[in-house]
Amino acid sequence: MWRKAVAAAVLALTVGYFYHTDPELPERLLQYLSQSPPSPEGAPSNPTREETIFSAWEALISAPARQWSRVAVGVNACVDVVVSGVGLLQALAVDPGVGRDHEVLHSKEDLREAFTHYMGKGAAAERFFSDKEVFQRIARAAAEYPGAQLYVGGNAALMGQKLATYPQLMEKVVFVFKDNGNSAGNVFAWCCYVALWALKLHEMLDDQIVVPPESLQETDEYHLILEYKAGEQWGQTRAPQANRFIFSHDMANGEMSTLETFVASLEEFQPDLVVLSGLHMMEGQGRELWEERLKEAVAAISDVRNEVPIHLELASMTDKDYMNSIMQEQVIPIVNSIGLNEQELLFLSQAGDGPHSELTSWDGVPDVGRVSDILLWVLEKHGRTDPESEADLTRIHFHTLAYHILATVDGYWGNQASAVAAGARVAGSQACGLQRIDVTKVALRAPMEFHSSYSEPRESLHINPAEPVTVYHRGNVTFYLTPVLVCRQPLRTVGLGDAISAEGILYSEILLQ
């Protein structure tokens, strides 16, 4: 006993001595003792699931054996005015209330109801605003709102801008409208209508993009992007996740008036890939216009050489008749690949009475089994799962916040595991405004266990962070699923889908038949 007492006394005297010589020493000792013991030298620390997934992507993603050399992109572009949705509506003296969807917006009240409806779901949407004068007043208020930002907008222009950043296409990347014999480059983009290449948009374009002077006009087309953050509150509405609501009075894009000129230019340029978008803009023009114009658009698209694959990027639509026309006898069967998000996929099924069309909307993260059912239905009914079919569609790139799926008919596409992983990787970096994913700023939100179908027979599947692309088969369709490392505090959500699809198609390889 006396030995313990002596030891305690010596310890007390020692601590007292050091305290008088260094009063901060005891506190530093406590901080040191409270820290986790260091790992033995050379012993690896336990990585998080996010770190494991990102490292696995980096090892997995590789360029296809046969890369695209010339890419033509068309045909919609505009100026995006990005602003706080709640802030703008408050500045317009609009009070919060009950949300309600509208196929077309006619007033500030319609805008308030539609914005509230989608903000409450955390879902992206896009609508046409019919009243030109009211829209212009709202646009002026948006441009003058503190913190408002102007960006290049429109699916085609955004995908063209994204393609301009790829190292494998940067040797001589020039986006041109006409090849007069003195233009060079391996990426061609006719991204817009003549009326859209106005002064402000021209100033914001990538330096790689060459716009002929005769294309410039005095006015721009503006799209208003009302963004909201995860957890943001407006009245009784709370956003479950960050997203945006888009609306415009865009007549030039809605008419797709230069599609024929774009297609005619391809004969001289000779691209080996065509990327199209902008069909959704015609919906707001009314049935009489889109019925006739859609037939003309199909005739123009059909003029693209058969050996050149076409990727079509879809966007938000509300008219089921219009979607049916695109899906059944018009556009989708004559393109090789489509890109779309969860809202657009469900609307495809609702318009065509497909699987799970009774759902009014997704409840949280879309169920993988249900998504797989609809993807398979689109490929079987409107694609080339039957070798005797005359349809060309063999690939669908589906993207939602938590995960992505690439569904392809066997024998037509290669390098799809890399493609889906590359699309998810760019989603995590671009949303955070970074060139490379920072694993401390992202979170894994994908379901770690899921089924290949919502109904029997179905296969139980899971995500392995060390091998983050889960592959499963249904008939002669192969599905590639990978989680997304979701940015915790996204800086900008608009354009993510275009970046995802551009990245995915860049890493894809079409197989020679």
Residue ranges of the alpha helices (H) in 22-80? 25-34, 49-60
**How does DSSP classify residue 415?**
-
Number of H helices, E strands in the chain: 16, 23
Helix H or strand E encompassing 481: strand 477-483
Alpha carbon distance 7, 173 (integer Å): 77
SS3 of 90, please? Answer: helix
In the structure encoding, which two tokens stand for residue 189, read together?
């983009």
Residue 222: strand pairing partners: 79
Residue 449: strand pairing partners: 462
Which residues 6+ apart lie within 8 Å of 7 measured at CB? none
Contact in structure between 240 and 121 (CB atoms under 8 Å) = yes
Which residues 6+ apart lie within 8 Å of 278 measured at CB? 74, 75, 76, 154, 155, 156, 253, 256
Active-site entry in 80, 250, 373, 498: 498
Contact in structure between 252 and 218 (CB atoms under 8 Å) = no
**Is the bond leading into 75 cis (omega within 30 degrees of zero)?**
yes
Q: Is 346 exposed, middle or buried (0-12, 13-18, 19+ CB in 10 A)?
A: buried
Q: Is 438 a catalytic residue?
A: no
Contact in structure between 191 and 157 (CB atoms under 8 Å) = yes
CA angle 159/280/114 to nearest 5° reads: 105
Sign of the dihedral defined by the CA atoms of residues 359, 102, 491, 154, in that order: positive
Alpha carbon distance 88, 84 (integer Å): 6
Q: Among 134, 157, 137, which residue's Cα sits nearest to residue 80? A: 157
HSE of 36 in the Cβ direction (CA atoms, 13 Å)?
4
Residues with active-site annotation: 498
